[in-house]
Structure 1
Amino acid sequence: MLSFLDLGVPAALADVLAADGKTEPFAIQRDTLPDSLAGRDLLGRGRTGSGKTIAFALPLVARLSASGTRRQPGRPRGLVLAPTRELATQIAATIKPLAEAVGMRVTTVFGGVSQRPQEQALRGGVDIVVACPGRLEDLMKQGIVSLGAVEIAVLDEADHMADLGFLPGVTRILAATPAGGQRLLFSATLDRGIDALAKRFLSSPVSHEVDEASVPVGEMTHRVLVASDADAKKKLVEDLASGTGRRILFTRTKHHAKKLAKQLTAAGIPSVDLHGNLGQNARERNLAAFGADPANGGVRVLVATDVAARGVHVDDVELVVHVDPPVEHKAYLHRSGRTARAGAAGTVVTLMLPEQRRDVKDILRKAQITVGLEDVTPAIVDELVGDRAPKIKTVPVAQQQNKPKAKPAARGGAADASQPASRDGGRRRGRGNGGDAARRTDSAHRGDGGQRRSGGQRHEAGRADAAHSRSQGSQTRYSTQTGAPSAHSRQGEQGAARGRAGSRRASRPQGR
């Protein structure tokens, strides 16, 4: 078996991987590294979980480290484009230890968070930027970042970019990078305009496609359960969520994800949600809670829309539940790929009502999944759930924690408590790529065709979503004492009572 050193990876970077337990390269890494480390343009095809991130992170860091060019303010030397905030964050987390080992800096650029820290990082000088297209284009237009010094550009999950309507922006961004730079493009498929993108920006690329059999996945078991009616399905969802291992429950809409997470929490099964209406801080808190040990405050259940179907990598997810069957087979495969990763086994359960039989069979046929439909029985439920976690009497207090605090009124009008003031006295809001992606996906699920909005419309939608997420998007905290609200909850109730009393006093007629 070849090692990373055998493939030409510098010893300093191989040591970083070894310290993380990565000593043997995956197939896509073995195939692509000799070419990418030699500076050739590359087109890599492989599904999520094949090891693509390390396959492009190593040549990106190694070649920039050896290039001899110096870091300049606002002019990164390496660029990675990703379709969602979650994926951008996880890519950056993989690249940073490698970059730090050779004295290089990495930062992320995406919407849904304040622009100022990103400006400061870029002006301080970074070597590699991992970005979502929307915010990066904003910063380019403002003159905060220039791509004229980019030596290596990477496009990850290009097919997902196409699905979300980001290819025009991606095309403009790649056109702003020097023509002679190295370009690495990774995609599961070459349809939806990806082939044209590769032909335009890649020069004599080497193509590598990972055989599915070589992808290190564990045994994935597929089951389809037919619930007799909506009430039976609701009870089944609660049962499937009650196990001791991590599980992700997928819904079609943001509203359903939020509602279901609250219902499960109220039923004693602490859950967090992940969807496009959440602000970035709330997303990160909820993902951190889901990834943490339940003994240390973590939760076992994540309720998500398709925003989590790609780019969210949490170890040891033993069960994926399609609470709402997806609208097409690609979403089924990407959702299901959250389990049975890195050699671990996992189960995928699709829940359906009798009237959904034809649609579910069509999705499974296109996904090339052969599995029978099963009526729900107690024995099947017990088999899928396994050991059940004890239910916890929980008191959600997110509403009290997330009430906007009143700020002193600014001169000339009331202050906007939901937005920080920008330097020019206005309100600065960024475009959230992950949020845009989820909104497009969810709009398609609702049946409005997912019509692409103009930049101005997306900006206004982003403002509304950002305000909403600030008021409702925080991770729920729980009191584990049966029937007892947490201290935050009691404080929130006392504050609410004082507010009601104040309102009553204000409404009484005042004497002269």
Structure 2
Amino acid sequence: MTTFNDLGLPEKMVSRLDELGLTTPTPIQERAIPHALDGQDVMGLAQTGTGKTLAFGLPLIARMQSYGQKPERKTVRGLVLAPTRELAAQICHSLREQVDGTPFKVGLVVGGVGINPQIKRLEKGTDILVATPGRLIDLLDRRALTLQSTDFLVLDEADQMLDMGFIHDLRKIVQWLPEERQTVLFSATMPKLMNEIADAYLQNPVKVQVSPPGKAADKITQELHYIAKAEKTSLLIELLDKHRDEAAIVFGRTKHGSERLMKALVKAGYAAASVHGNKSQGQRERAIKAFREGEIMVLVATDVAARGLDIPQVRHVYNFDLPNVPENYVHRIGRTARAGMDGAAVAFCAPDEVDELKAIQKVMKISIPVASGSPWMGMDEPAKKGGGRVRGRGRGGPRGGGGDNAGQKPGGGQRNKRRGPPRGKRGPKAA
């Protein structure tokens, strides 16, 4: 069995990993770390929850040990770019654990908080800086830092940065970076634009892959409920009541919808909080801290939290609304079954979410087991039988889940008309 000591890491780093109870590298760590330690550019393809942070973080910290002096004023030696504040904060927390007791400092710059304190902290120079693209550009425009001395760059969750429209920011940032540098890129999927990013940032990269894109962790059990939109909240409460003492994340599609759902859960007696784009960074951090420490048991979130949370005690993930981007389903359910634990993922599908469900199952190359209800009319696959009570049958179930006038007032018109903007214009904006 491979150990961290076998990967060529400095002895002090291996000792620190032992202190944290980490002795055996994950497959992505085992494959990526030796190449990164050799100074090669690396392109890694791995699903969420596979240990990518240490796969790039340990070589980055090892690089810091090669310097014999502190960083110069306003300089950054190692830069990590992440798409969301939550993911950036999680990366920063993990790296700070690894450098505890050393002279190395890990800085964090994200939006949603005051920029002036960040400018002041950057004046002394930074060993490792974790940043979101937008805030980094703001700081560069203000000349609060320089990247001319940055010789180790990490692009984490690069596919999500593309999904969120950061392609122009990435093109701008690369102009501030020196050509002579080492770059590590990690992504869960490989969209077409990734080739452009790879060409701009990487030189002759070593490609490592540990699992095909769209594959969920093996220890996650999944189930699907066909249910009318109006009945989703009551079903969620019914299912949550079965595991009140276990942490659960509930994913919604929109900021306002997630906030309403959180308030409904609080009213129903659950210790719940929400994380979405209308919350300040301080509010997000307090909610996540309370969730991590067990003060609240249910966290309602949009996709801003689909990749940024690493909380091993999360046993349940609910897709209250199915995501518009099918790959985000994989990232959402990857918030459970972490650190070798088991987890359960439950998805709700209303009549107007059939297309999203089809896209998810196509990406994952599976058919999610049905726990209740029947496929809505127009779906290609036959109905499956499963446990749980039947809700919203596809052809006029007793609770109004699916008939021709489902969800309509008496005398209502056509059903299943999609509301809101076209599919391609939803998704990241909702976070």
User: Do both proteins adopt the same fold according to a TM-score greater than 0.5, normalized to the shorter chain?
Assistant: yes
Aligned to 1:496: none
Measured in 1, the distance between the counterparts of 2:340 and 2:212 equals 14
Pair 1:352–1:450, CA change in 2 (3 A): closer
Aligned to 2:19: 19
Aligned to 1:266: 267
Aligned to 2:421: 447
Pair 1:259–1:216, CA change in 2 (3 A): closer
Offset at 1:362? 4.2
Aligned to 1:84: 84
The question of 1:235 aligning with 2:234 is answered: yes
Measured in 1, the distance between the counterparts of 2:191 and 2:359 equals 21
In the alignment, is the contact (CA less than 8 A) between 2:106 and 2:128 conserved in 1? yes
Offset at 1:233? 2.7
Aligned to 1:286: 287
The question of 1:312 aligning with 2:320 is answered: no
In the alignment, is the contact (CA less than 8 A) between 1:65 and 1:102 conserved in 2? no
The question of 1:109 aligning with 2:109 is answered: yes
In the alignment, is the contact (CA less than 8 A) between 1:13 and 1:101 conserved in 2? no
- The letter for the 2-side match of 1:238 is I
The superposition leaves residues 276-302 of structure 1 with CA deviations (integer Å, 9 ceiling, x where unpaired) of 100000000101111113xxxx11101
1:346-385 pair list within 5 angstroms: 346-354=343-351, 356-357=353-354, 359-375=356-372, 380=388
The structure number with the bigger radius of gyration is: 1
Aligned to 1:189: 189
Pair 1:27–1:379, CA change in 2 (3 A): closer
Offset at 1:153? 0.8
The superposition leaves residues 138-175 of structure 1 with CA deviations (integer Å, 9 ceiling, x where unpaired) of 11111111101101111111111111110221122122
Structure 1: any 5+ residue segments left out of the alignment?
382-444, 453-460, 466-512
Instruction: Report the more deviating stretch, 365-374 or 30-39.
Output: 365-374
1:78-157 pair list within 5 angstroms: 78-157=78-157
In the alignment, is the contact (CA less than 8 A) between 2:109 and 2:130 conserved in 1? yes
Pair 1:353–1:15, CA change in 2 (3 A): same
Structure 2: any 5+ residue segments left out of the alignment?
374-384, 390-418
Measured in 1, the distance between the counterparts of 2:97 and 2:226 equals 47
In the alignment, is the contact (CA less than 8 A) between 2:47 and 2:216 conserved in 1? no
In the alignment, is the contact (CA less than 8 A) between 1:49 and 1:216 conserved in 2? no
Measured in 1, the distance between the counterparts of 2:235 and 2:321 equals 13
Aligned to 1:344: 341
The superposition leaves residues 347-382 of structure 1 with CA deviations (integer Å, 9 ceiling, x where unpaired) of 11111235644652443233222234343699727x
Measured in 2, the distance between the counterparts of 1:155 and 1:337 equals 20
Query: What count of residue pairs does the alignment treat as equivalent?
Result: 386
Offset at 1:230? 4.2
> SS of 1:6's equivalent?
helix
Structure ranking higher in helix proportion = 1
Offset at 1:178? 1.1
Measured in 2, the distance between the counterparts of 1:2 and 1:72 equals 38
Measured in 1, the distance between the counterparts of 2:130 and 2:290 equals 24
Offset at 1:345? 1.4
1:178-257 pair list within 5 angstroms: 178-211=178-211, 217-227=217-227, 229-242=228-241, 243-244=243-244, 245-257=246-258
Measured in 1, the distance between the counterparts of 2:353 and 2:191 equals 29
Measured in 2, the distance between the counterparts of 1:307 and 1:234 equals 21
In the alignment, is the contact (CA less than 8 A) between 1:217 and 1:344 conserved in 2? no
Q: Matched residues, percent identical? A: 37
In the alignment, is the contact (CA less than 8 A) between 1:218 and 1:341 conserved in 2? no
In the alignment, is the contact (CA less than 8 A) between 1:122 and 1:145 conserved in 2? yes
Aligned to 1:37: 37
Measured in 2, the distance between the counterparts of 1:202 and 1:358 equals 36
Measured in 1, the distance between the counterparts of 2:423 and 2:138 equals 27
> SS of 2:328's equivalent?
helix
Instruction: Report the more deviating stretch, 230-239 or 302-311.
Output: 230-239
- The letter for the 1-side match of 2:421 is G
Offset at 1:33? 1.4
1:498-509 pair list within 5 angstroms: none
> SS of 2:76's equivalent?
coil
Aligned to 1:332: 329
